[in-house]
């Protein structure tokens, strides 16, 4: 018969093992290819300070600001993209670049999907976000529905499908954006030429605080 102390220790060990399993990078689902080998930044190129970006613990790590974007060397057209991200502290801001050229601001020359600490931003930075600046939004194009962000230090999941003119964005299993880019022809003509691109690079933004990305996978669509 186990004592109360033995049962308590056993429960603690199970929790620790579970936490370690959850924190370990996973294998790509069937049909998906990894964009990150878990050890190096091979296949990626920084547009700003390269030393802001590193690979550690099975994750792509942005250590702070001034790194611009870390972009894939390969271009992608129609695809399903998945990744996970987490913040080190409150007030973080980042983004995912889609169909962007190597040069230019991806938010306009391509598309940027916003990732931000919605709940703590105003407290930390003392100003409110515009609707199109919240997590999941196509930056300066289509605002997202309210995101269900995990606590700081926990992993959030992202799923993005680009198929022709349709862009769907999910975070933590909830659809935040289901857009038809043809609805934004005026924005495309004014200051978002990237909305007209049918392929380009994928990448992550360096904006302010540390952010990590893991389980970075893609499935090209026909």
Spatial distance between the Cα atoms of 105 and 68, rounded to a whole number of angstroms: 9
Where b means 16+ CB within 10 Å and e means fewer, 48-68 reads eeeebbebeebbbbbbebebb
Dihedral, CA of residue 43, residue 49, residue 53 and residue 54, to nearest 10: 80
Burial class (CB in 10 A: 0-12, 13-18, 19+), 20: exposed
Q: Is 214 helix (H, G, I), strand (E, B) or coil?
A: strand
Domains (range + CATH), the chain: 31-220 (2.60.120.560)
Q: What's the confidence (pLDDT) of residue 27?
A: 92
Q: Give per-residue pLDDT as tens, 99-154.
A: 999 999 999 999 999 999 999 999 999 999 999 999 999 999 999 999 999 999 99
Q: pLDDT-based confidence at 2, cuts 50/70/90? A: low
Regarding predicted confidence, which is higher, 197 or 222?
197
Q: pLDDT-based confidence at 160, cuts 50/70/90? A: very high
- What spatial distance separates the first Cα and last Cα of the chain, rounded to whole Å? 60
Q: What's the confidence (pLDDT) of residue 25?
A: 81
Q: Give per-residue pLDDT as tens, 40-80.
A: 999 999 999 999 999 999 999 999 999 999 999 999 999 99
């Amino acid at each position: 018969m186990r004592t109360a102390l033995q049962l308590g220790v056993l429960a603690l060990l199970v929790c620790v093992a579970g936490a370690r399993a959850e924190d370990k990078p996973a294998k790509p689902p069937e049909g998906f290819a990894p964009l990150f080998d878990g050890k190096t930044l091979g296949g990626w190129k920084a547009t700003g300070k390269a030393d802001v970006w590193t690979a550690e613990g099975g994750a792509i790590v942005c250590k702070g600001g001034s790194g611009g974007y870390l972009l894939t060397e390969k271009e992608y057209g129609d695809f399903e993209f998945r990744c996970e991200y987490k913040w080190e502290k409150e007030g973080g801001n980042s983004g995912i670049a889609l169909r962007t050229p190597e040069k230019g601001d991806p938010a306009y020359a391509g598309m940027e999907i916003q990732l931000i600490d919605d709940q703590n931003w105003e407290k930390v930075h003392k100003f409110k976000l515009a609707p199109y600046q919240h997590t999941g939004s196509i930056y300066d194009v289509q605002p997202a529905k309210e995101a269900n962000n995990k606590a700081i230090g926990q992993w959030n999941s992202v799923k993005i499908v680009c198929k022709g003119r349709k862009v769907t964005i999910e975070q933590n299993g909830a659809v935040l954006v289901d857009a038809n880019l043809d609805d934004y022809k005026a924005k495309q003509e004014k200051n978002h030429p990237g909305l007209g691109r049918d392929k380009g690079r994928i990448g992550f933004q360096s904006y302010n605080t540390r952010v990590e990305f893991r389980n970075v996978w893609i499935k090209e669509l026909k």
